[in-house]
Amino acid sequence: MLDIKFVRENPDVVKENIKKKFQDNKLSLVDEVIKLDEESRRIKTAADNLRASRNKLSKQIGALMGQGKKDEAEEVKKQVGEFSEELARLEEQESDYGEKIKKIMMVIPNIIDPSVPVGKDDSENVELERFGEPVVPDFEVPYHTDIMERLDGIDLDSARKVAGNGFYYLMGDIARLHSTVTSYARDFMIEKGFTYCIPPFMIRSGVVTGVMSFAEMDAMMYKIEGEDLYLIGTSEHSMIGKYIDTIVDEKTLPHTLTSYSPCFRKEKGAHGLEERGVYRIHQFEKQEMIVISKPEESMEWFNRMWKYTVELFRSMDVPVRTIECCSGDLADLKVKSYDVEAWSPRQKKYFEVGSCSNLGDAQARRLGIRVKSEDGSKYFAHTLNNTVAAPPRMLIALLENNLNEDGSVNIPVSLRPYMGDKDKISPKK
């Protein structure tokens, strides 16, 4: 969420940013919110003046009573009462205008970084760099669920009976490999100096609207019926929410956290064959990282964070590339975002396995996360998040890139200590 003062003073900048995001339907909101803000400030000034006058009159009442001027005191009391009634009306108007302004400001997109390429959607995202040599073996690579089934590692039929489509049972060595990935990713981030955290898996609506746009909320979140609680779609939400309405001592920054959590997502819409199996599901687990930083350090952290994901995948011999999200593919709160994509030998192309985002002070402004500097002044922090590893998609990348012609799967050296020193998983049938 932008600062209303910034919008008031830079309407053309805000409108140009909206155009870059191809959201021309929101252009009129800028003029609308500026008019509402002008009226709101007029009402506030009137209320402040009236409040000062009322307080001044209130002080006269005691003096008049002390002088025995009871009638005059009663007249002043009457006037104070009238002022109070008018003040209550103005305060109600002030509150109404505040809500209207907030509602509009919540949908005006954040100002994107000047380096972000302009494009309408993800088809215009830009490849930045590749890491590792993508290999296509000289044998056919089966669909990832077929690989798992041959290893007695997945049961989709039972899951459909129990929970419906978009769920799975992972079994045996595949389930162990799944847990191995989260454990390895956890330790990898701890070694990078991040504090390990297991957060709440449900959050209140005030946190939801603080960390994401309404469009994202509708497409992702599961609501707990009858309660002000939502299942988290990613642990970054509850980790950022940890700082709601707090003032952080500048000397303690940056705060770096890495978390494990299950994640729950609606995943609305129909998806093609390649996004079935365990690629796009309603329930999965993930290792995440967040950073709370000074504004001037956030881009440095952004570049450090996405490189951690690349390093993690390369340590498991999975080729990856980084993609910069264009303006039209950025969620409204994001300033800049990179996707990390892993190579799929089966599809002979890359697919998304992680996303790193710098949200500037948008989340901090919504949630009231402020920093107190040494001179006592306060400012909004910058927040960043990045996927360390989401095992279902990482499993696809691991299985396809380490598959042998006989159906066995090599275990990367970095993961073997977590797999009882196994170097291979072999088919049971």
Q: Are residues 78 and 127 in the same domain?
A: no
Q: Are residues 313 and 199 in the same domain?
A: yes
Q: Are residues 279 and 136 in the same domain?
A: yes
Q: Are residues 127 and 233 in the same domain?
A: yes
Residue 78, domain extent: 4-105
Whole-number pLDDT of residue 223 = 93
Over residues 200-210, the pLDDT tens digits come to 999 999 999 99
| 3-state class (DSSP) for residue 393 | helix
Whole-number pLDDT of residue 212 = 87
Q: Decide if 135 is inside a domain.
A: yes
CB 386 within 8 A of CB 359: no
170: its two tokens = 């992972």
CATH code of the domain in which 88 resides: 1.10.287.40
Number of compact structural domains in the chain: 2
Q: Are residues 181 and 127 in the same domain?
A: yes
Q: Decide if 110 is inside a domain.
A: no
Q: Decide if 278 is inside a domain.
A: yes
Phi and psi at 218, nearest 5°, equal -65, -35
Give the confidence band of 160 by pLDDT, cuts at 50, 70, 90: very high
Q: Decide if 17 is inside a domain.
A: yes
Q: Which helix (H) or strand (E) holds 362?
A: helix 362-367
288: its two tokens = 């995440």
Over residues 244-265, the pLDDT tens digits come to 999 999 999 999 999 999 999 9
Q: Are residues 96 and 201 in the same domain?
A: no
pLDDT higher than threshold 60 for residue 270: no
Q: Are residues 220 and 297 in the same domain?
A: yes
Q: Decide if 115 is inside a domain.
A: no
Q: Decide if 373 is inside a domain.
A: yes
Q: Are residues 127 and 97 in the same domain?
A: no
State the Cα–Cα distance between residues 262 and 308, nearest whole angstrom: 21
Give the confidence band of 66 by pLDDT, cuts at 50, 70, 90: confident
State the Cα–Cα distance between residues 354 and 338, nearest whole angstrom: 9
Out of 71, 105, 139, a domain closes at: 105
Q: Are residues 99 and 145 in the same domain?
A: no
Whole-number pLDDT of residue 255 = 98
Beta-strand pair 320-324/283-293? unpaired
- The average pLDDT across 77-104 equals 91
Closest C-alpha among 243, 337, 249, 254 to residue 296:
254
Please provide the DSSP assignment of 9-56 as one string: H-HHHHHHHHHHTT-GGGHHHHHHHHHHHHHHHHHHHHHHHHHHHHHH
CB 1 within 8 A of CB 105: yes
Q: Within the chain, what is the greatest distance between any pair of CA atoms?
A: 106
Whole-number pLDDT of residue 274 = 54
Helix 27-66, helix 11-20: angle, nearest 10: 140
pLDDT higher than threshold 90 for residue 214: no
125: its two tokens = 């995202």
State the Cα–Cα distance between residues 384 and 101, nearest whole angstrom: 26
Whole-number pLDDT of residue 102 = 94
Q: Are residues 95 and 138 in the same domain?
A: no
Q: Are residues 246 and 308 in the same domain?
A: yes
- The average pLDDT across 299-304 equals 98
Whole-number pLDDT of residue 268 = 62
Q: Decide if 76 is inside a domain.
A: yes
- The average pLDDT across 187-211 equals 96
